[in-house]
Amino acid sequence: MIDETLSEKEQIRSAGLKVTHPRMRILELLENSSKAHLSAEEVYRMLIESDEEIGLATVYRVLTQFEQSGILQRHNFETGHSVFELDRGEHHDHLLCVSCGMVEEFHDEQIEKLQHEVAERYDFKTIDHSLTIYGNCKECKNGR
């Protein structure tokens, strides 16, 4: 979960990481992206298009570090690759359009509560949970 009042530099520092060129560029990119959910390959391509000489290995490494320090969240939808988004603190679930790939976020307190009850019922210590609804969005449902 990030503190929006911290600058990129401060966020990276407080994650215990050196403030380097690749890390700054990647964090800026995530914060300025119009798409909330990006894959490593997408981040890499966007950097290349901005004439940044950042290797693919570095992109994967930095994204993983950002995830581990809580700057980013990683999601594994059923697409065969991970996508990342800024962790803004509020837990949410996803609606994913299988036609156009669009991702919509939602939060439902009632569902959250029921999930905790289920975990309790099975004597499970919840670490994380993910709920994704796959389907067709408004646009794709009708024409396209």
Partner DNA sequence: ATACTGTTGATAATCGTTATCATTTGCGTA
Partner DNA sequence: TACGCAAATGATAACGATTATCAACAGTAT
Residues that bind its own copies (CB under 8 A): 76, 78, 95, 97-98, 104, 106, 108, 110-111, 114-115, 118-119, 121-138, 141
Q: Is 13 in the site for DNA (CB under 7 A)?
A: yes
H/E element, 97: strand 93-97
Q: Is 101 in the site for DNA (CB under 7 A)?
A: no
- The structure tokens listed for 70 are 């809580």
Specify whether the CB–CB gap between 85 and 68 falls below 8 A.
Answer: no
- Which of its own copies, DNA, none sits in contact with 95, Cβ below 5 to 8 A by type? its own copies
- Which of DNA, its own copies, none sits in contact with 34, Cβ below 5 to 8 A by type? none
* Length of the chain (residues): 144
Residue 24 has a CB neighbour count (10 Å cut-off) of: 15
Question: For the chain, how far is it from start to end, CA to CA, in angstroms?
Answer: 36
Binding mask 75-94 for DNA (x = CB under 7 A): -----xxx------------
Q: Is 55 in the site for DNA (CB under 7 A)?
A: yes
